[in-house]
Amino acid sequence: MLLTEKLKEMSKKEKLVLMEQIWDSLLQEDDGINSPQWHKEILEERMAKMKKGEAKFITINELR
C-alpha cells in the first residue's frame, strides 16, 4: 500500500501526530540546507519595520 493510500485511512489526529514527528525528525537533521537569501531579506525588512514602530500586528481572529 502506498503512503498516500495510508494517509487517506488516517484520522486527522493521526495525521497531525505524524506531521509533528516528521518536523521533530527534520529538526534533528543537520544536512546543511539553509534558508534562501530572499527569506533572510524579508525577515530583516520586517525587523526594521518593528524597530521603527511601523509594523502592524493583527490577532489570529483578524487573520482569519
What is the value of pTM for the model shown? 0.47
Q: What is the pLDDT of residues 38-57, one digit of tens each?
A: 999 999 999 999 999 999 89
pLDDT of residue 39: 95
Q: Residue 43: name the closest of 28, 51, 23, 31 by CA.
A: 51
pLDDT band at 33 (very low <50, low <70, confident <90, very high): confident
* Distance separating alpha carbons of residues 51 and 15, to the nearest angstrom: 39
* Distance separating alpha carbons of residues 52 and 26, to the nearest angstrom: 35
Given a contact cutoff of 8 angstroms between Cβ atoms, the answer to whether 13 and 20 are in contact is no
